[in-house]
């Protein structure tokens, strides 16, 4: 039986993703989630500035709709990162369409002036606009995805320490083996 060396100067390499395990289900899930998030945000942004019953949307409505579309780019990027970490590669190019549409639509809405009879028809965009009512879903999804990504990175980092993710332990004391067997032994033993 061959035992690899676990010296700190040579970390254990994790083998690449199993080629027999397809990445397309992850890609499909991530792309569908991104398109649903984009559709939800575009719908909310368009409804916020829709001229119902002849009502002219205010500058605040345009900014709120534009910020909803712009902040949706953050979860889309995090979804792409999660898909990349799961092994998806070229399928993530499908993210270009929803992220690009969201960014262009958001910038267009933020640049529009509101109703001329509004007290501030040309008010500037403020930092507080990033956290308006329509952006809450985007920040919740982005926070959840960030927690998942940090968890995956943390577990991958722990699994690089040894093949089972932990250093060998002495059963009697619960501490790492003092003899160093399996920790600093020769490169390969038979």
Residue 175: per-residue pLDDT:
53
**Please, how many CA atoms are within 13 Å of residue 37, restricted to the half-sphere of its CB?**
32
Regions in the chain scoring below 70 on pLDDT: 1-20, 161-190
Instruction: List, in order, residues 6 or more apart from 144 with CB less than 8 Å away.
Output: none
**Could you give the angle at the alpha carbon of 38 between the alpha carbons of 32 and 44, nearest 5°?**
135
Distance CA 125, CA 177 (A): 60
pTM of the model: 0.70
| Per-residue confidence (pLDDT) for residue 11, from 0 to 100 | 53
What is the distance, to the nearest Å, from the Cα of residue 87 to the centroid of all Cα atoms in its chain? 14
What pLDDT sits at residue 8?
55
What the block records as the tokens of 86 is 């799961």
Strands 3-4 and 188-189: antiparallel
The first and second tokens of residue 25, run together, are: 């289900």
Burial (CB count within 10 angstroms: exposed 0-12, middle 13-18, buried 19+), residue 45: buried
> How much is the pLDDT for 150?
93
């Amino acid at each position: 039986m061959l035992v690899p060396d676990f010296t700190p100067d040579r970390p254990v390499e994790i083998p690449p993703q199993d080629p027999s395990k397809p990445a397309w289900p992850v890609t499909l899930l991530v792309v569908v989630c991104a398109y649903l998030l984009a559709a939800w945000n575009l719908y909310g942004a368009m409804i916020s500035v829709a001229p119902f019953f002849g009502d002219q949307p205010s500058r605040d409505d345009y900014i709120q709709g534009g910020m909803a579309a712009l902040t949706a780019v953050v979860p889309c990027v995090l979804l792409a990162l999660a898909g990349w970490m799961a092994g998806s590669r070229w399928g993530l190019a499908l993210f270009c369409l929803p992220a690009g549409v969201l960014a262009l639509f958001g910038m267009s809405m933020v640049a529009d002036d509101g109703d001329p009879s509004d007290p501030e028809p040309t008010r500037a965009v403020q930092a507080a606009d990033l956290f308006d009512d329509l952006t809450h879903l985007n920040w919740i999804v982005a926070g959840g995805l960030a927690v998942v990504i940090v968890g995956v990175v943390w577990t991958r980092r722990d699994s690089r320490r040894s093949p089972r993710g932990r250093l060998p332990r002495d059963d009697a004391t619960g501490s790492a083996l003092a003899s160093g067997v399996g920790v600093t032994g020769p490169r390969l033993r038979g």
